Amino acid sequence: MPQPQAAAFESPLVVASNRGPVSFRRDGAGELVAERGSGGLVTAIAGVLFESDATWLACAMTEGDREIAATGATTEVEPAGHAGFVDVAPERFAGYYNGISNRVLWQLHHHLFDLSYLPSWDAETREIWNDYREVNRMVAASLDTHADRDPVYLVQDYHLSLVPAFLRQLQPNARIAHFTHTPFAGQSFLGVLPSPMRDELLRGMLGADVLGFQAERWAENFLLCARDALPDAHVDVRRRRIRIGDRTVFIRTYPVSLDPEPLRATSRSREVRDIRKELLAWKEDAALLVRVDRLELSKNIVRGFQAFETFLHDRPDWHGKVRFLALLPRSRTEIPEYQIYAERVRELVDMINAKFGGAGWQPIEMRTDESYERAVAAYGIYDTLLVNPIFDGMNLVAMEGPLVNRQQGSLILSQNAGAFARLGRHTLAVNPFDVVETAEAIAAGLEMPRDERVRRARGLARAVLARNPVRWLTAQLRDLDVVRGIASQRSEELEEPERSIDFNIGDLDEALGRP
């Protein structure tokens, strides 16, 4: 007779994602050395997962990763935990990652396709979907090697949408949560996919016990898509659950938040202090408008610069008195659409600088090198932060900036960012497609009275700190226990409603390390 499962809180955690928390390379002495993984997912959740002694499996990205993958072993990662890799042949990885994940699913969930001519599905689409399916199958098989520990499986993001169903085939009683860090497309846009791909995507995710999303609108999109596409799925939109076969799947919202401690530590580091001094000397007495984004389509960078151009045209009194620092590390440079977009952004920046610059003043400083320390330094000194994505699952920049800013800077935030549900009332809200409205928000942000800046900055910091990564994780574990009918003391404790955090301004500044 099988033993009853332990509560999720008391079970080992095994995580799967496309990109891992560490990557390995050989140094000059030929030794394998670990480097911190990049990307928003790692930034958001790595700390809390490794504090929980998780095992994290990801696709091998470097030759060092592949060496570790070949051994079939995992390697220890600080502060606690282990990392392992799934080795995928380069040609298959290209179809899975560049083909489906980035050129199909990312575009789809962020509503980036120009439907007048893209996409156009052909025989190659079927081939790269097979690559996507096979990589998901390989990841599921790698996860299955941990079955003897009876773990909780935490599968991350749109790259691995099929993993839950494949893992369910291997382990019918597995406890699986899948979390989508991006938006999730609505019914009409998901219907752009060929029906077999759309249905396999939905059924793949429904192999989980719990499906997590960043915001209510993305969770509701999934529920309505499943109701529309899967006749055998009994969808209860109000109660946020789907009955399929003999299983019930919870559809829930778990907004990702930040652990402020690593960010604060970086902000106080000597390197960041030196960069901050450099930036202060560069900007002189000018006000500072900042944006920090990867140079990719969903971030709406072109319209952001067009809004700044409109602002400079309408407000000549600001000429020479404001600088726009845009930190835009390149992303997915091997994909043609991203190459074209990067060129368009550079051309627009050059045009604005030529049109308005002169007499020792260049309106826009654009940097495309990768430097987290430079971004944190810029966060500390902005007067206004521009975050205007077309759509975004959450957006960590909108939370990172207010936590380390020393100027009580204002935040311009797209209404289509997942973070807007939490931060919106403390921001200057914009329709990301409205260039004139965004230009007016830039003016309002730069000219905002001091007392209003302080009030909004306090509200932003309190809203960010009211949640933390531990709650993000424990809420999913609690719901895994609930859907399985497993009770534990910790899950009962977490039924208590979340409380907001109450700071006075002195306490808040002290907590954030502000002078």
Q: Which helix (H) or strand (E) holds 212?
A: strand 210-213
**pLDDT band at 486, cuts 50/70/90?**
low
Does the structure show a pLDDT above 50 at 490? no
pLDDT at residue 20, rounded to an integer = 84
CATH topology agreement for domains 8-253 and 260-465:
yes
Q: What CATH number matches the domain at 8-253, 3.40.50.2000, 3.30.1650.10, 3.40.50.300, 1.10.530.10? A: 3.40.50.2000
260-465 belongs to which homologous superfamily? Glycogen Phosphorylase B; (3.40.50.2000)
pLDDT at residue 32, rounded to an integer = 77
Q: Give the CA distances from residue 223 to residues 155, 212, 330, 334, in Å, rounded to whole numbers and listed in that order.
A: 19, 12, 34, 34
Domain boundaries, the chain: 8-253, 260-465
pLDDT at residue 22, rounded to an integer = 80
Does the structure show a pLDDT above 50 at 435? yes
Does the structure show a pLDDT above 90 at 508? no
Q: Parallel, antiparallel, or unpaired: how do β-strands 428-430 and 410-414 relate?
A: parallel
CA distance 184 to 190: 9
Residue-wise pLDDT for 273-305, tens only, equals: 999 999 999 999 999 999 999 999 999 999 999
Q: Which of 33-37, 262-266, 295-299 has the lowest mean pLDDT?
A: 33-37
Q: Which of 348-352, 390-394, 495-499, 506-510 has the lowest mean pLDDT?
A: 495-499
Q: Which of 362, 312, 253, 263 is nearest to 44 (CA)?
A: 263
Does the structure show a pLDDT above 80 at 433? yes
Residue-wise pLDDT for 185-197, tens only, equals: 999 999 999 999 9
Contacts of 283 (CB under 8 A, 6+ apart): 323, 325, 381
Residue-wise pLDDT for 308-327, tens only, equals: 999 999 999 999 999 999 99
Does the structure show a pLDDT above 50 at 1? no
Average pLDDT over residues 445-453: 97
> At 402, which amino acid appears?
P
Does the structure show a pLDDT above 90 at 250? yes
> At 12, which amino acid appears?
P
CA distance 253 to 240: 10
